[in-house]
Structure 1
Amino acid sequence: MNESSGSGVAGAGEITVAAAFAGMRRVVPVVFRAGCPDCRGSFELTASALRLAIGATSKTTFYSFTCPDCGAAVRKPAGERIVELLTGGGVRTLRLHSAVQ
């Protein structure tokens, strides 16, 4: 009876990093649809173009961006669902703290 190791290839079962990622071409960035109240433009923004500020109340929680069409600074309220979508999409978040009196 003849014993063999099976594959005869040294390191069988091991995979290199290059081989593991060989099929990946690119990662599609998350984009968010937004509109400008000043110029009425409608566009898509990447996470890096948005900022989210989370305050103590719904009145102090908002997201902001600069309109790519007219350059206006836009600030809009962000409810719970918007906060979930923006944070899940990688938008940078600032937590606002209330002042202690």
Structure 2
Amino acid sequence: MTSSGPGCASQAPPPATPVLFRAGCPHCRASFELDAGALRLAIGGTARTTFYSFTCPECETAVRKPAGERIVELLTVGGVRTMRLHAP
């Protein structure tokens, strides 16, 4: 399903086999693996507004990290829900 309106979320088709992503929490320093459903990707108009986020399974802190082109590609192909941010 693809949407093109402002603030609409789009989602890549799920991969054939489940994908796990390695992540780390900057707050409690835990390292862990997350499936695509535990991550969210926001793609903005600039590098500062493109990021991924998740909740740390250890300390339950909301984490937001910048996402460069390669990270965006990996998360998108891996089935992470993606939201495109549009300026008003």
Q: Determine if the TM-score, normalized by the shorter chain, exceeds 0.5.
A: yes
**TM-score normalized by the length of structure 1:** 0.71
**TM-score normalized by the length of structure 2:** 0.81
Question: How far apart are the structure 1 equivalents of 2:59 and 2:22?
Answer: 16
Which residue number in structure 2 is paired with residue 58 of structure 1?
47
Unaligned runs of at least 5 residues, structure 2: 1-15
Is residue 2:67 matched to residue 1:83? no
Structure 1 residue runs of 4+, over 6 Å off? none
- Amino acid of the residue matched to residue 53 of structure 2? S
Cα RMSD (Å): 0.9
Question: How far apart are the structure 1 equivalents of 2:68 and 2:17?
Answer: 26
> Which structure's CA Rg is the greater one?
1
| Bigger fraction of residues in strand | 2
Which residue number in structure 1 is paired with residue 19 of structure 2?
30
Identity of aligned residues (%): 77
Q: How many residues align?
A: 73
| Higher RCO by CA contacts (8 Å cutoff, separation 6 or greater) | 2
